[in-house]
Amino acid sequence: MLDSPWLFLGLVFLAVFLLTQGMTVPVFGESSKMRKRLLARLSSVGTTNARADFGSLLREKYLRQLSPVERGLETLPGMARLAQALEQSGSDTPAYRIFLLSIVFAVLAALIGWVITRLPLFTIGLCLAGFSLPYLKIVRDRARRLAKFEEQFPEALDVIKRALKAGHPFTQALKLVSEDMEDPVGREFDLVFSETNYGGDVRAALLGLLERVPSVSVMAMVTAVLVQKETGGNLAETFERITAVIRGRFKLHRRVRTLSAEGRLSAWILSFVPIVLFVVVSFTTPDYLPELFKTQLGKNLLIAATCLGVIGILWIRRIIRIQV
């Protein structure tokens, strides 16, 4: 039986963890309608399956270099998608190692939860939380890297625009971006330049960039380049207009983030009020709360309160996550 506030400490950890993971509003909340519209535009300019075939060849070459056990883990369902997320987050760690690390965290969390509480539901919750920790870190690193790419992207387009006006070819302009700018923009454009420099198609290289950086801004650039290759036109002027639109969009999202600051602060306060009240009551009236830990009804109430708190946090996050 549980006769100590370990359950409460676990609930506090879970609540704070959800707050830190869920209350972050990204600078760029992509519009799903805009994403679908630009994807349809890319399809209309004649995208092929060359990029998918190229990625499959690279995947097969990578699997052949692994041991049989590692190859078996890498071929599990969802591992290819995890490998893509790792690439987008800038990590060089193989996907199967993240999977094994998740299993280790899940087992340790389950053992700790069972030894401390002896509650099956709480143990299962800690097990799931431990299993998801590496994946949540990947998601967070991916979001930060994509946000940094978005901030650097207008400057990269300016470099390309100036290079085109100076008479450099488009591939040479990509090389200038890779040499002059830092990661992640420099690294991504270096991959595009390397692929085209070693005989690859510009279309496939740009689609590879779009696959690694799923952003509306990158979609706009890729669309402009592919349309210009089909119909002609002044690519430097097109890049200048795209840069102006992206900078205006970035300024709009910053303004949205500023205007939603009050809502985010309210979300933090509303989410922490039950925890703060719990702590205050435990100090001011020590004999009032032990019933929650000693009786089955109290434990059920704590579990129900945690579930409702999680639902509330997710709902508040949905409200303050504004897509523009």
Confidence of residue 25 (pLDDT cuts 50, 70, 90): very low
Tokens for 208, please give them.
């590879």
Residue 17 has pLDDT above 90, yes or no: no
Rounded (10°) CA dihedral 114, 118, 120, 122: -70
Q: Find out whether 177 and 156 touch, Cβ atoms under 8 Å.
A: yes
Distance separating alpha carbons of residues 277 and 39, to the nearest angstrom: 49
* 3-class SS of residue 232: coil
pLDDT digits (tens, 9 = 90+) for 157-210: 999 999 988 888 888 898 899 888 888 899 899 888 888 888 778 888 888 888
The arithmetic mean of pLDDT across residues 55-79, rounded, is: 66
Q: Find out whether 239 and 224 touch, Cβ atoms under 8 Å.
A: yes
Distance separating alpha carbons of residues 59 and 77, to the nearest angstrom: 14
pLDDT digits (tens, 9 = 90+) for 126-159: 888 889 889 988 988 988 898 889 888 999 999 9
Q: Find out whether 130 and 105 touch, Cβ atoms under 8 Å.
A: yes
pLDDT digits (tens, 9 = 90+) for 270-296: 777 877 787 788 788 878 777 777 777
Q: What is the largest CA-CA distance in the chain?
A: 80
Determine the distance from the C-alpha atom of residue 76 to the mean position of all C-alpha atoms in its chain, rounded to a whole number.
22
Residue type at position 66: L
Confidence of residue 2 (pLDDT cuts 50, 70, 90): very low
Determine the distance from the C-alpha atom of residue 273 to the mean position of all C-alpha atoms in its chain, rounded to a whole number.
29
pTM reported for the whole predicted model: 0.72
